[in-house]
Amino acid sequence: MTIIGKAMQDAMNEQINKEFFSSYLYLSMAAYFEDKNLTGFAHWMRLQADEEREHAMKFYEFILDRGGRVQLKAIDAPATEWKSNLEVAEQVAEHEAMVTESINALYELALREKDYPAQTMLQWFISEQVEEEKNAADLVAKLRLIEERGTAVLMLDHRLSKRGGEEAESEEE
C-alpha cells in the first residue's frame, strides 16, 4: 500500500478541520434563520452544512485509504449572530472563497510532492468549489436585488426550501 506523505497527511488533516468548521458555521447560520422563521433559508444552510461534513469525510477516507492517520482537532466556535440575511450570504461567499484557496494550496502541495492520487482526488474539490462559490454569489446577488427593491424575501425563502426536493426538479424541467 502506498503511504501518504507526512506533509500531505498533515495538510489534509487541517482541511478536515476546515470542512467540519464550515459545516458547523453553516449549521449555526441555519439556526439563525430558524430563529427568524425563515425555514427555507435554514433548509438551504442545513444542506450546505451536510455537504461540508461529506467533504470532511472524503478527506478522512482518503487519508485512511492511503495508509495515513486521521488526527482530528478542536473545531472553533462559529458566529451565531448576523446583522442581516445579506450579511449571512456575504459571509458564506467569503468563506467559500477561503475554502477554495485552501483546496488550491492542497493541490499545489500535491503537485510539489508528486502525489498523483491526491491530485486526482483534489480535482473533484476544485470543481465543487466552482459550484459552491457560484451558489453563494448568486444568493448574495439576489439578496442585494431584494434589498434594493424591498420585496420578495419570502419568495426566495420558499425557493431555497425546495433545494434537493422533487418540486425543485420539476421546476427545472
pTM for this one? 0.86
Task: Supply the pLDDT for residue 166.
Answer: 55
Helix, strand, coil share (%) of the chain residues, nearest 5 = 80, 0, 20
Query: How far is the C-alpha of 103 from the C-alpha of 99, rounded, in Å?
Result: 6
Whether the per-residue pLDDT at 168 is higher than 60: the answer is no
Interval 112-143: pLDDT, tens: 999 999 999 999 999 999 999 999 999 998 88
Report the pLDDT value the prediction gives residue 55, as an integer from 0 to 100: 98
CA torsion sign for 154, 159, 163, 167 is positive
SS3 126: helix
What percent of the chain is predicted at pLDDT more than 90?
A: 80
From the CB of residue 9, how many other CB atoms can be counted at a distance below 10 Å?
A: 20
Cell 458547523 belongs to 24
Question: Domain residues for 47?
Answer: 6-168
pLDDT in tens, 141-155: 888 888 776 666 667
CATH number at residue 60: 1.20.1260.10
**Residue 171 or residue 110, greater confidence:** 110
Question: Residue 58: is its pLDDT beyond 70?
Answer: yes
- Tell me how many domains the chain contains: 1
* Residue 123 belongs to some domain of the structure: yes
173 assigned to some structural domain: no
The 3-state DSSP class for residue 75 equals coil
